[in-house]
């Protein structure tokens, strides 16, 4: 028999969002289950009209408990989770997902696309219905499963529009921080909760509080290598925001020695080295990051943007070092990832001008000016080229 696929959601007062999230997707699943956590609007009725099985759940300030209750109620072989402010961008991807479902347990990743910013982040989205797959954490809950389950990459892209309202985002951040502080009161050694608390402080622009939480969480490395890496990378980001870029760079360079196979460690060191004006170091670090796998699924990583930035900054660093041909190759790699990026095209035009390559320079300038005729830098470069010619 073919493997079955179910959709699980938790929701409260989401009647207005459900036509965008649940409505289009419900018919593509063998079972759709919505867990209502105390709605006072038409969430339950709306979900039922869309074909979902609706169950009630008393909210306990515990996101993992609600998601795990969904797992307990579900009946399909595999489960895909969504929130009410999520929607599957291309429903045709569900057909490809079904073909990807293996007979044995695995974790299937998809990309979340944050509407407005367009940022795309890896997430674990599909997993087998199994007592070995459970969510953990009052908030920013993570899917816990056996470490030997393989990771599979799907074509799923999930649109997430819940961050569009800055005031609502701040309210969520404050509430999430309260839940994380409650977690830490019960278990001060919960390093994942400390990491997420640091992220909340960071998003609330409370950088010193974020630093303090990360310092307390630093010992996580001995217990969870992946979490330890994320903590160290964020520590460097926080130090930079606190005006301690030199210390942040030293920390990242130490991290590259400690984690020589971490593309993200080299990428972060290279990005900061470029910002600090050390172009030779930046080129070395960024080149190394690109030889490793910057596109591998890592929670909350934007793979396309990371590869783009690595190629772009490497190209600029090479240009600063007088390595024009190499710089052009890197910028062209960046342009293949972001064909509409004005800055890359203008940098390519400048490098082509250094090589006296009129055709390439005019091609990139014309491309920019076609869509942005008032772009000051493009117009200045065009005048400069005419004067040079």
C-alpha dist (Å) from residue 164 to 15, 83, 103: 18, 15, 39
332 and 219 together in one domain:
no
Confidence band (pLDDT; 50, 70, 90) for 169? confident
344 close to 331: Cβ distance less than 8 angstroms: yes
- Number of domains into which the chain is organized: 3
124 and 242 together in one domain:
no
Joined together, the tokens standing for residue 224 give 């969870």
Q: Between these two residues, 356 and 168, which has the higher pLDDT value?
A: 356
Mean pLDDT, the chain, integer: 92
Last residue of a domain, one of 117, 133, 160: 160
Last residue of a domain, one of 95, 130, 160: 160
184 and 256 together in one domain:
yes
Report the pLDDT averaged over residues 146-162: 93
202 and 272 together in one domain:
yes
C-alpha dist (Å) from residue 289 to 123, 171, 282, 325: 21, 37, 11, 20
Confidence band (pLDDT; 50, 70, 90) for 295? low
277: left (phi over 0), alpha (psi -120 to 50) or beta: left
Residue 384 burial by Cβ neighbours in a 10 Å radius (0-12, 13-18, 19+): middle
Confidence band (pLDDT; 50, 70, 90) for 220? low
* Distance separating alpha carbons of residues 197 and 184, to the nearest angstrom: 9
Model pLDDT for residues 249-268, shown as the tens digit of each residue: 999 999 999 999 999 999 99
Beta-carbon-side half-sphere exposure of residue 22 (alpha carbons within 13 Å): 30
- The sign of the CA dihedral 21, 27, 29, 30 is positive
CA dihedral 318, 321, 322, 327 (to 10 degrees): 0
Which pLDDT value is given to residue 382? 83
Q: Which helix (H) or strand (E) holds 86?
A: strand 86-88
Model pLDDT for residues 90-130, shown as the tens digit of each residue: 999 999 999 999 999 999 999 998 887 677 888 999 999 99
Report the pLDDT averaged over residues 325-343: 95
What is the DSSP annotation of 58-77? Answer: ---S-HHHHHHHHHHH--SS
Last residue of a domain, one of 100, 131, 160: 160
133 is a domain residue: yes
- Domain CATH number, residue 59: 3.90.550.10
285 and 189 together in one domain:
yes
Report the pLDDT averaged over residues 291-312: 82
111 and 180 together in one domain:
no
C-alpha dist (Å) from residue 109 to 171, 226, 292, 345, 378: 29, 16, 20, 33, 40
- Among candidate residues 216, 249, 250, 247, the one with its CA nearest the CA of residue 231: 216
Report the pLDDT averaged over residues 71-97: 96
C-alpha dist (Å) from residue 71 to 34, 57, 67, 273: 11, 13, 7, 46
Confidence band (pLDDT; 50, 70, 90) for 326? very high
Confidence band (pLDDT; 50, 70, 90) for 167? confident
300 is a domain residue: no
Which pLDDT value is given to residue 388? 64
303 is a domain residue: no
- Domain CATH number, residue 257: 1.25.40.10
For 142, phi then psi, to 5°, come to: -115, 150
The answer to whether residue 322 scores a pLDDT higher than 60 is yes
173 and 138 together in one domain:
no
Which pLDDT value is given to residue 205? 92
* Distance separating alpha carbons of residues 345 and 103, to the nearest angstrom: 47
286 and 315 together in one domain:
no
296 is a domain residue: no
The answer to whether residue 172 scores a pLDDT higher than 90 is no
Identify the weakest region by mean pLDDT among 179-183, 227-231, 287-291. 227-231
353 and 339 together in one domain:
yes
* Distance separating alpha carbons of residues 37 and 64, to the nearest angstrom: 13
63 is a domain residue: yes
Q: Which helix (H) or strand (E) holds 114?
A: strand 107-114
Domain that holds residue 88: 5-160
Which pLDDT value is given to residue 300? 66
113 and 32 together in one domain:
yes
297 is a domain residue: no
| Angle between helical axes of 303-320 and 324-337 (0-180°, round to 10) | 160
180 is a domain residue: yes
Model pLDDT for residues 347-386, shown as the tens digit of each residue: 999 999 999 898 898 899 889 988 899 989 988 988 887 7
186 and 249 together in one domain:
yes
Residue with tokens 């105390």: 38
147 and 109 together in one domain:
yes
Q: Between these two residues, 381 and 221, which has the higher pLDDT value?
A: 381
The answer to whether residue 313 scores a pLDDT higher than 70 is yes
Confidence band (pLDDT; 50, 70, 90) for 222? low
230 is a domain residue: yes
């Amino acid at each position: 028999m073919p493997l079955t696929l179910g959709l699980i959601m938790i929701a409260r007062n989401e009647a207005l969002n459900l036509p965008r999230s649940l409505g289009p997707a419900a018919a593509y699943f063998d079972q759709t289950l919505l867990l209502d956590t105390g709605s006072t609007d038409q969430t339950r009725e709306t979900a039922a009209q869309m074909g979902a099985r609706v169950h009630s759940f008393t909210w306990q300030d515990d996101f993992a408990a609600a998601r795990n209750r969904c797992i307990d109620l579900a009946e399909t072989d595999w489960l895909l989770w969504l929130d009410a402010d999520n929607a599957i961008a291309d429903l045709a991807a569900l057909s490809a997902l079904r073909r990807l479902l293996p007979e044995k347990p695995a974790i299937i990743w998809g990309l979340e696309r944050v509407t407005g910013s367009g940022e795309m982040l890896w997430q674990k989205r599909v997993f087998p219905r199994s007592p070995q797959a459970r969510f953990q954490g009052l908030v920013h809950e993570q899917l816990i499963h056996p470490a030997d389950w393989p990771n599979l990459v799907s074509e799923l892209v999930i649109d997430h529009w819940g961050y569009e309202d800055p005031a609502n985002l701040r309210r969520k951040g404050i509430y999430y921080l309260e839940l994380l502080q409650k977690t830490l009161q019960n278990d001060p050694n919960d390093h994942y909760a400390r990491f997420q608390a640091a992220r909340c402080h960071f998003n609330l622009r409370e950088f010193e509080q974020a630093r303090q939480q990360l310092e307390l969480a630093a010992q996580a490395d001995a217990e969870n290598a992946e979490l330890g890496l994320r903590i160290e990378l964020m520590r460097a980001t926080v130090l930079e925001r606190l005006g301690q870029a030199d210390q942040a760079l030293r920390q990242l360079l130490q991290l590259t020695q400690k984690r020589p196979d971490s593309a993200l460690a080299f990428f972060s060191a290279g990005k900061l080295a470029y910002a600090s004006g050390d172009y030779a170091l930046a080129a070395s670090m960024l080149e190394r990051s690109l030889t490793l796998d910057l596109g591998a699924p890592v929670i909350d990583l934007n793979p396309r943007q990371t590869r783009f930035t690595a190629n772009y900054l490497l190209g600029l660093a090479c240009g600063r070092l007088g390595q024009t041909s190499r710089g052009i190759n890197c910028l062209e790699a960046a342009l293949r990832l972001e064909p509409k990026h004005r800055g890359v095209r203008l940098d390519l035009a400048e490098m082509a001008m250094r090589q006296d390559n009129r055709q390439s320079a005019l091609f990139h300038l014309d491309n920019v000016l076609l869509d942005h005729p008032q772009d000051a830098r493009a117009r200045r470069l065009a005048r400069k080229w005419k004067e040079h010619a």
